[in-house]
Amino acid sequence: MTVRVRAPASTANLGPGFDCAAVALDLWNELELTEGNGDADAGHLGVRAFSLLVSPEGWRFEFASRIPRARGLGSSASVIALGLVAACAVSGRPAEPEELLAAGLELEGHADNLAAALAGGVCLTWSGRVARIADAPPAVPIALVPDGAVSTAAARASLPTQVPHEDATFTAARAALLGAALAARSPELFSAALDDRLHEPHRAAAAPLLARVRADLPEGALGATISGSGPSVIVWARADAVDACASELTDRYPDVDVLPLQASPKGAHAL
């Protein structure tokens, strides 16, 4: 028996949607699982996820990693989703996103990326729940991926334990706008929502591209956000301006990988 599974990258937070909003991206990790005399690496994150539901004994795991690691694009969530969905495929268990989120959350630590990796599309998550509210946001993501890596734990440690009331109010308003923009698929509301004072200012040192891009957005771009903990930055472009935006960004930042992507309506799934 051989099973192949794919799981997408994701970009989380989307500015003010801290720890609760994410979009699945059309960039994939894969797992080929073969029954036989396998010798699974028990310490591998995907194998650990698989073992939450099914014993890995007797299975051979071959992972293909295409999502850049430690760049804020949900690579670990994707690997966990691979293991969980593969376990469902071999056991005949339905791959229900909320159930798998609950199973894998201890490994991932943050629900937003994992929810999008499992359910696909644009997801909001809270208290273990997953709301998949759209196939795609009202803008097209262009990922700017620098060479440097960022530790999620270190990025989270940089956040303050308290924020001024003014900053909380500012971000709450943008978060409400973000939810409305995603539900209504409104580019105008989406553009107005893409700002934050809870986490982005404190992660700016680890994601210096954000300030540079925001200071001079390419024509046709609606805004820019740190992807997850960084250092990658997402430029959100109008659908008719993606090629021009990507070309301009490539010219401006020759040392950065510029990846025009699409949102993926599909989450992790067996092929």
Contact 60, 36 (CB under 8 A): yes
The pLDDT tens digits for 5-63 are: 999 999 999 999 999 999 999 999 999 999 987 788 999 999 999 999 999 999 999 99
Cβ atoms of 72 and 206 closer than 8 Å: no
For 145-175, b where at least 16 C-beta lie within 10 A, e where not — what string?
A: bbeeebebeebeeeeeeebeeeeeebbeebb
Give the burial class of 37: count Cβ atoms within 10 A of its Cβ; 0-12 exposed, 13-18 middle, 19 or more buried.
exposed
Question: According to the 3-state scheme, what is the secondary structure of 1-36?
Answer: CEEEEEEEEEEECCCCCCCCEEEEEEEEEEEEEEEC
Strand partners, 12: 22
Residue 155 has pLDDT above 90, yes or no: no
Taking only the tens place, the pLDDT of each residue in 97-143 is: 999 999 999 998 889 999 999 999 999 999 999 999 999 999 999 99
Give the count of beta carbons closer than 10 Å to the beta carbon of residue 208. Answer: 14
- The average confidence (pLDDT) of the chain is 95
Q: Which residue has the tokens 């957005």?
A: 217
CB distance 268 to 27 below 8 Å: no
Residues 166-186 have pLDDT tens digits of 999 999 999 999 999 999 999
Which residues have CB under 8 Å from 241's CB, separation 6+?
218, 219, 220, 221
Is 256:145 a contact under the CB 8 Å cutoff? yes
pLDDT at 182: 96
Q: Are 32 and 4 in contact (CB under 8 A)?
A: yes
Enumerate residues 6+ apart whose C-beta is below 8 A from 158.
202, 203, 205, 206
Q: Band of the pLDDT at 154, cuts 50, 70, 90?
A: confident
- Indicate if the pLDDT at residue 156 is higher than 90: no
- Burial-class residue 240 by CB neighbours within 10 Å (0-12, 13-18, 19+): exposed
Q: In sequence order, what are the beta bridge partners of 221?
A: 237
pLDDT of 39: 81
CA-wise closest residue to 30 among 58, 57, 2: 2
What's the predicted TM-score (pTM) here? 0.95
